[in-house]
Amino acid sequence: MTKTQELRGKAIMLALKTQDAYSVLAYKNWTSVCAFLLKRGFTEEESEAILRSKWMRWAGDFAEKNKYGSLTSKDVARFLDSGKGISQCEVNQLVESFK
């Protein structure tokens, strides 16, 4: 199995696990958002916490075209890279809050 296939498999499993997250329907392709977070270097646990957090809604608010159901992983990337995104310390606190 290639690394790409492995990442895709993890993203699919994460998408299934988080299909009840508040912002899931706001995004065009939830699996792609999951894959993006994993590629960005977040662990599966960190990614799940982010996907279930208010940060996903904030990423939508920060999107250039804030149209419900059409947000993408690029919108999440823009939010994370904006300086209004999240630090590793905040991710750690978020993970702890979900335990």
Tens-digit pLDDT profile for residues 54-65: 999 999 988 877
Q: Does position 99 have pLDDT exceeding 80, yes or no? A: no
Contact in structure between 26 and 62 (CB atoms under 8 Å): no
| Confidence at 38, pLDDT banded by 50, 70, 90 | very high
Q: Average pLDDT for residues 16-30, to the nearest whole number?
A: 97
Instruction: Give domain limits for the chain.
Output: 3-97
CA distance 60 to 69: 10
| Confidence at 85, pLDDT banded by 50, 70, 90 | low
Q: What does each C-alpha distance from 72 to 15, 26, 97 come to in angstroms?
A: 14, 9, 26
**pLDDT of res. 54:** 92
Q: Does position 88 have pLDDT exceeding 90, yes or no? A: no
